[in-house]
A = this chain, B = another copy of it.
Amino acid sequence: MAVDRLYSLLERLGNLLRTEERAAGLRHGLQPVHLQALRYLQSCNRYSNTPAALTEYLGLTKGTVSQTLLLLEEKGLLRKEADTEDRRVVHLHLTDAGRTVLKEAIPPALFKQALAGLPGGGEALEEALTGLLRGVQAANAQRSFGACSTCKHFRREGPGRFRCGMTQEPLSREDSVLLCREHEAVPPGH
């Protein structure tokens, strides 16, 4: 049955990818999940750099993520900052050391190589996976973490000038490509 084959494929690719990542993080003393957390923090926007958002992104429990963050903070790869509005909330920022580690440890060389042999540079694959992820998230009542500019709250106000229709805050061109926790896809037919 096709579903079972697909399941196996994704599972195996996930395993191999994690094994790769384990090796990549080894000389920094980092586990796969640590690199994943750092990468998320690198690519999320200022509404989404919190433990809660990361928890949902990774699909783990908040206790588990709290531990992970503790370790990354001890290693000096990230820094915590209290929110000024809501004093329960903590914002996570990569330190220079964190960014350096990411640059060194992330390039999935083996993976890039495999991708190069794919027809069309993997465009079709990306599209299909995006759809699948969306489906899994919908079935799981999870957030999508899409890029800001693809959100239904995204407003264009001029060349390089944007605004979030939800928070009313202005957004730069750089902001617009970051992942947002509050992201909601534009409904089909727009």
Contact = CB atoms under 8 A, between A and B. Distances in A.
Interface of A: 2-3, 5-19, 21, 36, 39, 57-60, 108, 110-119, 121-126, 128-140
A12 B33 CA distance: 11
Contacts of A57: 12
Given A115-B135, A117-B131, A128-B118, A11 B2 contact: no
Given A3-B112, A135-B118, A136-B114, A129 B14 contact: no
A140 B116 CA distance: 15
23 contacts: A2-B121, A2-B123, A2-B126, A7-B111, A10-B10, A10-B13, A11-B14, A12-B57, A12-B133, A14-B14, A14-B18, A15-B36, A16-B136, A19-B59, A19-B60, A111-B136, A114-B138, A115-B135, A122-B128, A122-B132, A125-B128, A125-B129, A128-B128
Contacts of A131: 117-119
Shortest 10 CB-CB contacts between residues of A and residues of B? A14-B14, A114-B135, A125-B128, A9-B129, A114-B136, A19-B59, A110-B139, A113-B139, A117-B135, A16-B59
Contacts of A129: 6, 9-10, 13, 125
A177 to B, nearest CB: 11
Complex copy number for this chain: 2
A129 B108 CA distance: 17
A128 B14 CA distance: 15
Nearest to A57: B12
A117 B114 CA distance: 28
A49 B131 CA distance: 35
A122 to B, nearest CB: 6
Contact of A111 (B3, B16, B58): B3
A14 B6 contact: no
